[in-house]
Amino acid sequence: MILEGKVFKFGDNINTDWIISGRYKFSITDMKKLAQYLFEDIRPNFYQEIIPNKSIIMAGENFGMGSSREQAPWVIKEAGIVCVVAKSFARIFYRNSFNIGLPLIEADTSCFQEGNQAIIHLDKGEIKKADNQHTVKFIPWNNFQKELIQSEGIINYLKKHKDFKIK
C-alpha cells in the first residue's frame, strides 16, 4: 500500500483541543462539517489548504495529547488527510485513530518541510521525499493494524470478521 501527498508540518505536543476545539463538541455532530474547523485555533483556514486525499500531516512528538475525544482523529480523516506521521503519538489518540481507520506512522519527520511531497510505502516501512533525496525508515504496521486501516476501522473489521471472538 502506498500513500502520497503534500506535507503540512506541525510541531510537538499538538493537543486534541488544537486539532478540533472543544467549543464545537456538542454543537456540530456531523464530522464532515466539523472538519472545516480543523486546527482553526493554531492555523486559521487550514481546512482550505488541504488537498483532499493528497495531504499528509507531519508533526513532532506527542501528537494528539489531551482528551480522549474521538472527534480529533475523525475530523482529520473527514478533512481528507491520508495519513499522520509524527515522532510519537499520545496513546489514546493512537488507538482512536486506528479504530476509525486513520493511518498513523511513527517516524522522524525532521527532514521534511512544509509543502514537500511525500511517498509512504507502508509495506516497506519507508517515507520518501518525492525528489528522492531523503528516505525515512519506520517500523511497518502489524497485520492487525493493516486490516483495521483496510477495513476503515474496528466496526467494519468486526462486521467483516463475524466469527471474531475475544478470549
The phi-psi region of residue 129 (left if phi > 0; otherwise alpha if psi is between -120 and 50; otherwise beta) is beta
What's 119's domain CATH number?
Answer: 3.20.19.10
pLDDT at 137: 96
Asked if the structure places residue 167 within a domain, the reply is no
Question: Does residue 162 carry a pLDDT above 80?
Answer: no
Please provide residue 156's backbone torsions phi and psi, each rounded to the nearest 5 degrees.
-65, -35
The pLDDT of 3-14, averaged and rounded, is 97
Give 123-134 pLDDT, tens digit per residue. 999 999 988 778
DSSP per residue, the chain: -EEEEEEEE--S--BHHHHS-GGGTTT---HHHHGGGTTTTTSTTHHHH--TTSEEEEE-SSBTBS---THHHHHHHHTTEEEEEES-B-HHHHHHHHHHT--EEE---TT--TT-EEEEETTTTEEEETTSS-EEE-PPPPHHHHHHHHTTSHHHHHHHTTT----
pLDDT at 1: 87
C-alpha cell at 107: 517516524
Q: What angle (nearest 5°) sits at the alpha carbon of residue 77, between those of residues 129 and 145? A: 75
Proportion of the chain above pLDDT 90, given as a percent: 72
pLDDT at 106: 97
Average pLDDT, the chain: 92
pLDDT at 111: 93
pLDDT at 125: 95
Asked if the structure places residue 166 within a domain, the reply is no
Asked if the structure places residue 114 within a domain, the reply is yes
pLDDT at 69: 79
pLDDT at 132: 73
Asked if the structure places residue 108 within a domain, the reply is yes
Asked if the structure places residue 84 within a domain, the reply is yes
What residues make up the domain containing 60? 2-160
pLDDT at 22: 83
Asked if the structure places residue 71 within a domain, the reply is yes
Spatial contact of 120 and 130, defined as CB atoms under 8 Å apart: no
Structural domain total, the chain: 1
Assign 105 a pLDDT band (cuts: 50, 70, 90). very high
The pLDDT of 44-70, averaged and rounded, is 94
The pLDDT of 8-14, averaged and rounded, is 97
Asked if the structure places residue 11 within a domain, the reply is yes
Asked if the structure places residue 146 within a domain, the reply is yes
